[in-house]
Structure 1
Amino acid sequence: MNDRQHRNNKSWVKWVVLFAILIAVNFIQLPYYFTVPGEAKVLTEVIEVEDGNEYEGTFMLTTIRMGKANIVNYTWSLFSDRRELIPEEQIRPEGETDEQYHHRQMMMMTGSQELAVLVAYNHAGEEAYFENYGVLVTSIIPDMDAEGKLEVGDKIVAIDGEEVLEVNTLFDILGEYEIGDEVPITYEREEETDTVTIEVQSFPEEIDPEGERGGIGIANPVTDRELIKNPEVLIDTDQIGGPSAGLMFTLEIYNQLIEEDITHGFEVAGSGAIDEDGNVGRIGGIKQKVYASHEAGADIFFAPDEEGIEGTNYQIAVEAAEQLGTDMEIVPVSHFEDALNYLESL
């Protein structure tokens, strides 16, 4: 082999190695997700209360964008204040498909909207209440006894003959069973009702490292219910998922129901889950949502304070705002009324 052929062969090998490295860097996914700031969506564009009142200011829903991390995104996230890395197991349980994950996120968003309507209507003195019909299975834990017996979308309506119409009842009844017990579960699937016996088993180590807790093998069940309300309200959030817009939905709906404009002309952003009692819960991606709100020109940002415990969303939001050097006011809220009281003080 002459020198020219030798050099050509070495050059060819280098290109092959370089190509393989580029493929690995860009296409091999790591067990992490990365998040970046999303958008601040003006809520009058997505929420319309029948015969609702107009107002001058703005309430904004804040979002993040999330993707599976490759080597590039992982490394970039380590050195970027705008990005955050989240272990895969914190986002979705092992074995959950993309379709199941999307379905679960959409169901949580629907639940968030309904709770927002309930809280807002009750505070405004309008009619809103739930009719409960059972408990929907949203995720199956792999290698537990429910796998192959229940499916995502099944509606549990009874346990050992006792009617189950909402999640808390399900948890209360299952809490009376011990690991090794067999539980008769009655469920509805495609308009047919059946009963299956499921054994209570220890949770996998990644769910319960101590191995002290057990269950039938479903995760994140939700109550199947219908919200009865008057007046009607339309909410269109496209493909946004999750429960984190609950607080801002509630504020927007409430402001359309009453005559007074509680924004006082300000641009108000924020994030936080909401429950039936108006409590504001912790959410993910708070740092990125501060960035998104600042870039959208918000004057005020509401952040869950969780009654002031250590490491709250509010504390993280304040740190993010200081890093940004924003003039946006970061306001702690533990309850819907905290947000109302702050706005009334403006």
Structure 2
Amino acid sequence: MNMTFRWFGRGNDTVQLEHVKQIPGVKGIVWGLHQKAVGEVWEKHEIESEVNYIRSFGFHADVVESVNIHESIKLGNAERSRYIENYKQTIRNLGGFGVKVICYNFMPIFDWTRSELFRALPDGSTSMFYEKEKVENRDPQELIETFSNYSDFTLPGWEPEKIGRIKELFAAYRELTEEDLWNNLAYFLYEILPVAEEAGIKMAIHPDDPPWSIFGLPRIITGKESLERLQKISDSPSNGITFCTGSLGSNSDNNIVELAADFAERSPFTHIRNIKIFENGDFIETSHLSSDGSLDIKGVVKVLSDSQYDGYVRPDHGRHIWGEKCRPGYGLYDRALGIMHLLGLWDAYQTVKQEGK
């Protein structure tokens, strides 16, 4: 298990790499050029600058999250060829600097959705919260305004250039079905996977968050059947999955331990977090402890240990604790606690295996 930590870059994150360096067991930084407009080529000098900075702290820079997909590609419109060519060049450029995995998603318009960014938990911490009824009965423009007020840092999936075209985008997606979206994903993969193979990069699609339709938009990466269908699109070794316990697990029909066993081999990248699911479909993000949420985090790590998983892992969203002022879900303290919990589970399971118990 190759433990990593997501970081949003110099000037775009409260977390400093000299502090991440003090977390035992962290080998790499998951990074991206978050100030780049979606669809632009990531230029070599930009990549080199960020990679060299990360490596100066002793970390690897093997994983990028995310090279976002332009809406024209998801819609399959006349402009997609230009943006696919840009994406191919970005893959080539990243491969030239040793990147091994690119995380991406294929969610229309919104990469992730919550109704609150700082919901209070009983212990006094706060975390991101999804109130199902509020989202289902809310004008997406209101949600956009809520998130736009959090303007200190870029929020991945809520880029300003996208938000400024929100009405236009909703109109474009009005007639797009799930089958259309699958076809557009397949077209994209047929185009970019040969380039990824040549560059030595595995593409790892992130599940939809949450894994069901919101605001009438199609969602397609939602559970076992969809992950199996993804694999059938191409048997390329570069056609992979970002296995995210929180995204998949927010649908209680998804058994994340069974899914981990089924798909760990095709998941070069794994996000681990816990959530508490309520009977009405709401969910809130919790600590990584299995007992604090609804997901069997211990079971997932055991599956990874049993399979001697050598892919990249990171703690996913954390709570906001000890008065930390940070990007929603991405503070230093709770993710550091999450890392120590995950590595503790891994070490314990590995010891039991080695001792033959």
TM normalised by structure 1 equals 0.23
More strand by share: 1
Work out which of the two has the higher radius of gyration on C-alpha atoms and give 1 or 2.
1
TM normalised by structure 2 equals 0.23
More helix by share: 2
